[in-house]
Chains A and B, each alone.
Chain A
Amino acid sequence: MVGSRRFRVIDAFLIIMMILPMVFAVVLKILTNPESEGIAISGALVYFTIPMPKWDLPITESQVNSWLVMISVLGLCLYLTHGLSPKADTKRQHLAEFIVNKTESLVHENMGEFFGGFAPFIGAILALSAFSSLSSLLGIFPPTSDLNVIAGWAVLVFLLITYYKLKCGFVYYVKSFTEPIAILTPFNIIGEIATPVSMTFRHYGNIVSGSVISALIAAGLRILSSWIFGWLPGKIGEFPFLRIGLPAVFSVYFDIFSGCLQAFIFSILTMINISGAFDFNIYTARKNKKLSKKQKAN
């Protein structure tokens, strides 16, 4: 029950589950990151590789960080839904209900009634993408600035699109490539492949451009402060005063706003692509045909 000793112990455990992965990621970053001077624009660090028959499987910073973010988000979800009651008298239950309602209304608006079951999937993509981008605020390598992570999500979306196209019948799927005329088939195939590629590049490019600009700003402020305060004696002259606080102003746009916006765009595009691939009228007609055939056979 709410307020009992057992409840509070589980609460504390869930809060630790939320915070500990992030602390672990920051410690790992401090321990493994090689110290660098000036501009450092680099990909994910490879921790170790697992030998496999054909290709070695590298375990990189982005994989580890994305698993840590997943554990953290799982902890948040469990914390918000811990101690649900029909009366809805706790703050966290109001917050959880608000999130669920918003996600479901978003999915209903963009995908229609038939795809109502997609709300958890869209919510998961939204939360994972947003929290992955926001994890750069802690100074760790954000998993979304690795092309492979987002390519994985985009391939998942591509498989879903193909699945819902095939649901309308294999003939309809093949025929949809020859629309409006048969000569355009190669372009339609290219367009089909371009969907996941463009989704990947859009998300990745926006996040990476933010981190590149942040690195350039930090390096530029270091040089600028050495010009302005360079005449001060000793260690005070070397200290980059302009780097205190000023990069945070740019970080509000590039890390917080851009990350959340791209998460939203990615989920909106997922919804539009999946619901656009599916023709409800043809699906119901096909279903009715099958049903009538079955009845005739019986």
Chain B
Amino acid sequence: MLELAIGIILCGCAIGAGLALIAGIGPGIGEGNAVAKACEAIGRQPESRGSVMSTLFIGCALAETTGVYGFVTGLLLMFVVPRMLVNILITALTTNGIL
């Protein structure tokens, strides 16, 4: 029974981590838009290339934030949460006298 419970916890954490990484779609679209506009701007005014590029890098790094949130959530679900949940389960079972 305990194996089944731990298996459900691990399965849920893995599915959750996979779902969390869907957050990568948003920054992908956003950064693509930003780069497209930057290319247009450089094509129109090639002499402003330097300032456009530096603004683009900062903007891209800022736009990445939501994707990074998803990534950090995924990491937590992969490496931190399973152990924590299993510990909670085992302590709950032992205090109730089932184990």
Contacts and interface: CB of A to CB of B under 8 A. Distances in A.
Interface in A247-274: 261-262, 264-265, 268
Interface string A213-243: 0000000000000000000000000000000
Given A201-B72, A205-B72, A262 B61 contact: yes
B62 interface: yes
Interface in B54-71: 57-58, 61-62, 64-65, 68-69, 71
B39 to A, nearest CB: 19
B75 A208 contact: yes
A205 B69 contact: yes
A60 to B, nearest CB: 16
A206 interface: yes
A201 B69 contact: yes
A198 interface: yes
A205 B65 CA distance: 9
Interface in B37-57: 57
Contacts of B79: 41, 43
A204 interface: yes
B57 A205 contact: no
A206 B27 CA distance: 13
Q: Do most interface residues of chain B lie in helix, strand or loop, or is the interface mixed?
A: helix
Given A41-B79, A208-B75, A261 B68 contact: no
A201 B57 CA distance: 18
A202 interface: yes
A209 interface: yes
Interface residues of A, number: 16
A206 B64 contact: yes
B58 A205 contact: no
B61 A261 contact: yes
Contact of B71 (A43, A205, A261, A264): A205
A297 B94 CA distance: 72
Smallest CB-CB A-B distances: 5 pairs: A205-B68, A265-B61, A205-B72, A202-B65, A205-B71
A209 B65 contact: no
B58 A265 contact: yes
A261 B71 CA distance: 19
Contacts of B72: 201, 204-205, 208
Contact of B68 (A43, A202, A212, A268): A202
Nearest to A266: B61
B58 A201 contact: no
A261 B64 CA distance: 12
Contacts of A212: 75
Nearest to B61: A265
A208 B57 CA distance: 19
Contacts of A202: 61-62, 64-65, 68
30 contacts: A41-B79, A43-B79, A201-B65, A201-B68, A201-B72, A202-B62, A202-B64, A202-B65, A202-B68, A204-B72, A205-B68, A205-B69, A205-B71, A205-B72, A206-B61, A206-B64, A206-B68, A208-B72, A208-B75, A209-B68, A209-B71, A212-B75, A261-B57, A261-B61, A262-B61, A264-B58, A265-B58, A265-B61, A265-B62, A268-B58
A248 B56 CA distance: 25
Interface in A10-54: 41, 43
Given A43-B79, A202-B64, A264-B58, 17 more contacts: A201-B65, A201-B68, A201-B69, A202-B61, A202-B62, A204-B72, A205-B71, A205-B72, A206-B61, A206-B64, A206-B68, A208-B72, A208-B75, A209-B68, A212-B75, A265-B61, A268-B58
